[in-house]
Amino acid sequence: MPGMVLFRRRWSVGSDDLVLPAFFLFVLHCIWLVVLSVVLFGLPYNSDKSCSVTLVDHGRGYMGILVSCLICESAIMWLSMRGSILYTQPREAVQYVLYIRL
């Protein structure tokens, strides 16, 4: 299991070690997305006040960021589960998904 190369450095973590951290982040972000959706769409807001409109706009932007993180984390999980310990070619794209995630 060779180490990953990110930012021109070789890290002692292999790309196949990222399945569980990506799954944990995926579950955590799914829970947070449900909570944020309930707060944004389940509560009534007064659209006459500018602070309510700003809060909803920021919440929608944050939901967009959460959805993009969920997509990246699911891609990391899927790519990290491919291949075997010595056959690392199917996992070569993990580093690029990590760059996108950052």
- pTM of the complete model: 0.79
Residues 39-61 have pLDDT tens digits of 888 888 877 877 878 888 899 99
Domain-embedded: residue 2? no
How far is Cα 31 from Cα 28, in angstroms, rounded to an integer? 5
Position 1 scores a pLDDT of 58
Percent of the chain at pLDDT above 70? 98
Domain-embedded: residue 72? yes
Domain-embedded: residue 82? yes
Q: What is the mean pLDDT of residues 26-33?
A: 96
Average pLDDT, the chain: 86
Domain-embedded: residue 69? yes
Q: Which residue has the tokens 């932007």?
A: 61
Domain count, the chain: 1
Q: What is the span of the domain harbouring residue 33?
A: 9-101
Position 73 scores a pLDDT of 93
Residues 63-77 have pLDDT tens digits of 999 999 999 999 989
- What would the 3-class secondary structure string for the chain be? CCCCEECCEECCCCHHHHHHHHHHHHHHHHHHHHHHHHHHHHCCCCCCCHHHHHHHHHHHHHHHHHHHHHHHHHHHHHHHCCCCCCCCHHHCCHHHHHHHHC
Beta strands 5-6; 9-10: pairing state: antiparallel
Domain-embedded: residue 3? no
